[in-house]
C-alpha cells in the first residue's frame, strides 16, 4: 500500500451550498439548506476517510528496469526534424524478441522519471511515477527506450503543427507536414531515429503519420493492447500501437504489446475484453494471399478533397494482388462518408468530458491514475490560458453542447456508429479484409501564415479514411505502397475484430509488391522545424 497526498476536505459555507443549489435549479428554504448541509457533512466524513486510506500497489508502481539516467531536450542541431521532446536511454533485458531494437514513445505514454508533456507546455513539469504497461512489456522483451517523441498537443489534431514543442516536418519534404497526432513517432521511424515507435490513435493518429512518413503502422483492435498508463482522449476510442519500417517489426512488436493487463489478479484496463491475448503474428508474414478475398471499400476512394493519383496508386497494388490469385470484390458502406460529421459529438464531447474529469474519466472499471488526475486538474486550473487552440476550441464547443443539449448528440452519434460497425462487420464476414487508401490526400503543406481558424479547420481533414475504425473497433494497418511526387502513399488494410494476423499477411504481400519509400538523406533547412 502507498500513501497519497491530497488537499484537505473542507466544509463549505452555507452560501456556497446555496449557490450550488441555484446552479442546479433547486430552490431551498433556510430549513432545507440546513438539512442538506448536515447531509453534506456526513458525506464529507466519508470522503475524508477514503482519502486517509492507503492506496493499493500494483506491479505498475514498481519499475522493472531501474537504471534511469537523466534525460535531456535535444538541440535543433541534434534533432533537425524536431521529433524528440526528451532524449534518454532506458535499457531493457539482455535478450528477448526485441533485443537490440530501440523504441521511441509518443509523449502521452508514461515513462517513470521522465517528463510526460502530451505535447503541451501545460504539463511541461509533470513527471510520472509509473511506467505504462506497454513500456514494461517492451523493456522485458529486450528493447531500449531512447526517448519521448513530439506529438500534437493533447492529441487533438491530425496535422503536425499544433504542438507546443514545434512543428514536425515531413521527412520526405520538409515543406510539408508529417501528420499527427503521433507526428514525432512517424517521422522518427522514417528517419531511422528509432527502430520502433509507439503512437496513440483515436481518429487515425498512428496511421496518418505512418502513411505520410512512409512507414508501417497498426491501430490494433480496441482492447488488444492495454492502455494503462497512457493519457486518454475517450476510453471508447483510445488505442496504442506500433510503427516501424517493416511489417515484420510491427508484427513482432504487436506480439510483445498485446494481451490482457492483469496485475495482482486485477484487470487494470476496462477497454480490454476478458482473456484477450497475443498471437504469433510474425508467423502470418509468410502466408500466401491466394486464398484470401479482399473487399475494396469504394467510399474510401474518389473523395472530393482527395488526390486521384493516390487512388490510382492504391488500385494498382490491388490489381497486382488480384494478378497473384487474391479474390477482389467491390464493397460499399455509404455511411463511411459521414465520419467527419460524427467526430464533433463523438470526439469533442467525449474528449471534453475526459479533460473535465482530470484526464482519466469516470464510469469505468479497472485502475485509476490518481497521480495524473492531480497533475491535470492542478495545471489546467493554473495554466488555462496556455492550453493549445485545439484544446480551447474543443472545450468551448464540448461544454456548450453539453450544457445546452446534454449528451443527446453524443448518444445519437454512438448509435449511428453501431450501424456503421454492423455494415462493416457484415462485409468482413464474407471478406478476409477491406482495403482503401490510408489518407486520400498528400501531406499538407506547411504554412506558418495560416490563421488560427484555418489551422484548426484542417486538423481532421486527413481523418476521412481512418477515424471510422477507431469507433467501430476494427484493426487497421497502413503499409507504404508507392509514391506520388516523391511523397509516400499508404494502403490501409482493415480486418475483423482481433484478426490482426490477416492484416499482417496482406501487409507483407503489399510490401513484397512495392518498393519502400526512399528515406530522406538530408535534414531540413534551419527554419523548417520550430525549436
The pLDDT tens digits of the residues spanning 314-360 come to 999 999 999 999 999 999 999 999 999 898 888 888 888 888 888 78
Rounded CA-CA distance 270/233 in Å is 15
Does the residue 73 lie in any domain?
yes
**H or E stretch at 427:** helix 408-430
Q: Are residues 157 and 27 in the same domain?
A: no
**pLDDT above 70 coverage of the chain, percent:** 96
Q: Are residues 217 and 324 in the same domain?
A: yes
Does the residue 5 lie in any domain?
no
Statement: residue 521 has pLDDT above 60: no
Give the pLDDT band (50/70/90) at residue 531. Answer: very low
Angle of helix 14-23 relative to helix 30-52, nearest 10 degrees, comes to 100
* CA neighbor of 208 nearest in space, from 170, 253, 167, 236: 170
Statement: residue 27 has pLDDT above 60: yes
Rounded CA-CA distance 146/219 in Å is 22
Does the residue 217 lie in any domain?
yes
Does the residue 264 lie in any domain?
yes
What is the separation of C-alpha 144 from the centre of its chain, rounded to a whole number of angstroms?
21
The per-residue pLDDT for 380 is 84
pLDDT-wise least confident of 269-278, 296-305, 323-332, 348-357: 348-357
The per-residue pLDDT for 166 is 95
Q: Are residues 164 and 31 in the same domain?
A: no
The per-residue pLDDT for 524 is 61
Residue 234 backbone phi and psi in degrees, to 5: -155, 120
Statement: residue 526 has pLDDT above 60: no
Reply yes or no on whether 157 is catalytic: no
Q: Are residues 49 and 107 in the same domain?
A: no
Last residue of a domain, one of 6, 29, 55: 55
Alpha helix ranges (H) inside 277-407: 308-323, 339-343, 350-356, 370-382, 389-405
Residue 43 backbone phi and psi in degrees, to 5: -65, -40
Reply yes or no on whether 205 is catalytic: yes
- CATH number, domain at 503? 3.90.1300.10
Does the residue 363 lie in any domain?
yes
Q: Are residues 65 and 140 in the same domain?
A: yes
**pLDDT above 90 coverage of the chain, percent:** 69
Q: Quick one: average pLDDT of 101-125?
A: 97
Cβ of 399: how many Cβ atoms within 10 Å? 16
pTM of the entire structure?
Answer: 0.91
pLDDT-wise least confident of 2-6, 40-44, 224-228: 2-6
Residue 188 backbone phi and psi in degrees, to 5: -65, -40
Q: Which residue of the set 120, 185, 205, 496 is catalytic?
A: 205
Q: Quick one: average pLDDT of 110-122?
A: 97
Does the residue 343 lie in any domain?
yes
Statement: residue 307 has pLDDT above 50: yes
Rounded CA-CA distance 410/404 in Å is 13
The total number of structural domains that make up the chain: 2
- More confident site: 494 or 56: 494
Q: Are residues 90 and 185 in the same domain?
A: yes
Q: Are residues 354 and 502 in the same domain?
A: yes
Does the residue 25 lie in any domain?
yes
pLDDT-wise least confident of 190-194, 463-467, 512-516: 512-516
Rounded CA-CA distance 486/259 in Å is 38
Task: Give the residue numbers spanning the domain of 28.
Answer: 14-55
Q: Quick one: average pLDDT of 70-88?
A: 96
Statement: residue 6 has pLDDT above 60: no
Does the residue 9 lie in any domain?
no
Give the pLDDT band (50/70/90) at residue 7. Answer: low
Q: Which residue of the set 120, 160, 181, 182 is catalytic?
A: 181
The per-residue pLDDT for 1 is 47
Beta bridge partner(s), residue 173: 170
Statement: residue 508 has pLDDT above 60: yes
pLDDT-wise least confident of 378-392, 429-443, 477-491: 378-392
The per-residue pLDDT for 3 is 45
Q: Are residues 34 and 80 in the same domain?
A: no
- Backbone angle region of 229, left / alpha / beta, with phi > 0 → left and psi within -120 to 50 → alpha: left
Rounded CA-CA distance 128/374 in Å is 11
Three-state DSSP at 334 gives: helix
Q: Are residues 373 and 467 in the same domain?
A: yes
Q: Are residues 36 and 136 in the same domain?
A: no
Rounded CA-CA distance 123/375 in Å is 8
- More confident site: 356 or 517: 356
pLDDT tens, position by position, 421-479: 999 999 999 999 999 999 999 999 999 888 888 888 888 899 999 999 999 999 999 99
Reply yes or no on whether 516 is catalytic: no
Q: Are residues 19 and 113 in the same domain?
A: no
Give the pLDDT band (50/70/90) at residue 37. Answer: confident
Q: Which residue of the set 106, 120, 160, 483 is catalytic?
A: 106
The per-residue pLDDT for 318 is 98
Q: Are residues 30 and 155 in the same domain?
A: no
Q: Quick one: average pLDDT of 34-60?
A: 81
Rounded CA-CA distance 74/211 in Å is 26
Amino acid at each position: 500500500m502507498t500513501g497519497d497526498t491530497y488537499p484537505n476536505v473542507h466544509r463549505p459555507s452555507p452560501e456556497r451550498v446555496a449557490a450550488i443549489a441555484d446552479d442546479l435549479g433547486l430552490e431551498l428554504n433556510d430549513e432545507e439548506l440546513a438539512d442538506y448541509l448536515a447531509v453534506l457533512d456526513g458525506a464529507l466524513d466519508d470522503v475524508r476517510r477514503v482519502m486517509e486510506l492507503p492506496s493499493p500497489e500494483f506491479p505498475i508502481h514498481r519499475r522493472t528496469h531501474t537504471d534511469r539516467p537523466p534525460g535531456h531536450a535535444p538541440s535543433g542541431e541534434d534533432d533537425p526534424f524536431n521529433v524528440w521532446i526528451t532524449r534518454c536511454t532506458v535499457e531493457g533485458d539482455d535478450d528477448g524478441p526485441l533485443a537490440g531494437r530501440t523504441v521511441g514513445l509518443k509523449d502521452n505514454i508514461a515513462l517513470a522519471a521522465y517528463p510526460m508533456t502530451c505535447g503541451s507546455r501545460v504539463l511541461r513539469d509533470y513527471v510520472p511515477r509509473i511506467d505504462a504497461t506497454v513500456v514494461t512489456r517492451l523493456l522485458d522483451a529486450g528493447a531500449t527506450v531512447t526517448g519521448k517523441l513530439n506529438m500534437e498537443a493533447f492529441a487533438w489534431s491530425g496535422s503536425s503543427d499544433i504542438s507546443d514543442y514545434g512543428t514536425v516536418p515531413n521527412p520526405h519534404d520538409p515543406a510539408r507536414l508529417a501528420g499527427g497526432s503521433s507526428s514525432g513517432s512517424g517521422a522518427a521511424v522514417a528517419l531511422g531515429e528509432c527502430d520502433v515507435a509507439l503512437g496513440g490513435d483515436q481518429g487515425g493518429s498512428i496511421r496518418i503519420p505512418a502513411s505520410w512518413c512512409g512507414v508501417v503502422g497498426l491501430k490494433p483492435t480496441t482492447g488488444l493492447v492495454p492502455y494503462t498508463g497512457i493519457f486518454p482522449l475517450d476510453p471508447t476510442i483510445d488505442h496504442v500501437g506500433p510503427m516501424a519500417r517493416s511489417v515484420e517489426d510491427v508484427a513482432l512488436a504487436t506480439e510483445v504489446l498485446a494481451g490482457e493487463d492483469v496485475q495482482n489478479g486485477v484487470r487494470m484496463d476496462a477497454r480490454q475484453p476478458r482473456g484477450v491475448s497475443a498471437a504469433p503474428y510474425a508467423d502470418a508474414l509468410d502466408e500466401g494471399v491466394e486464398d484470401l478475398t479482399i473487399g475494396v471499400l469504394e467510399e474510401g476512394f474518389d473523395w472530393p478533397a482527395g488526390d486521384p493519383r493516390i487512388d490510382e496508386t492504391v488500385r494498382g497494388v490491388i490489381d497486382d494482388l488480384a494478378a497473384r490469385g487474391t479474390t477482389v470484390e467491390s464493397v460499399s458502406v455509404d455511411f463511411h462518408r459521414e465520419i467527419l460529421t460524427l467526430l464533433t459529438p463523438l470526439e469533442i464531447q467525449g474528449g471534453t468530458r475526459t479533460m473535465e474529469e482530470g484526464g482519466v474519466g469516470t464510469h469505468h472499471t479497472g485502475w485509476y491514475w490518481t497521480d495524473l488526475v492531480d497533475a491535470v486538474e492542478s495545471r489546467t486550473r493554473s495554466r488555462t490560458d496556455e492550453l493549445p487552440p485545439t484544446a480551447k476550441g474543443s472545450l468551448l464547443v464540448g461544454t456548450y453542447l453539453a450544457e445546452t443539449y446534454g449528451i443527446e448528440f453524443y448518444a445519437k452519434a454512438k448509435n449511428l456508429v453501431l450501424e456503421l460497425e454492423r455494415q462493416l462487420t457484415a462485409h468482413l464476414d464474407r471478406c478476409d479484409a477491406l482495403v482503401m487508401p490510408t489518407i486520400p490526400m498528400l501531406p499538407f503543406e506547411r504554412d506558418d501564415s495560416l490563421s488560427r481558424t484555418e489551422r484548426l479547420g484542417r486538423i481532421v481533414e486527413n481523418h476521412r479514411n481512418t477515424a471510422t475504425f477507431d469507433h467501430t473497433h476494427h484493426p487497421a494497418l497502413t503499409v507504404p505502397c508507392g509514391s506520388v511526387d516523391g511523397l509516400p502513399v499508404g494502403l490501409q488494410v482493415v480486418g475483423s475484430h482481433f484478426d490482426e494476423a490477416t492484416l499482417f499477411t496482406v501487409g507483407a504481400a503489399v510490401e513484397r509488391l512495392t518498393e519502400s519509400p526512399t528515406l530522406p538523406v538530408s535534414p531540413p533547412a534551419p527554419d523548417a522545424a520550430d525549436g
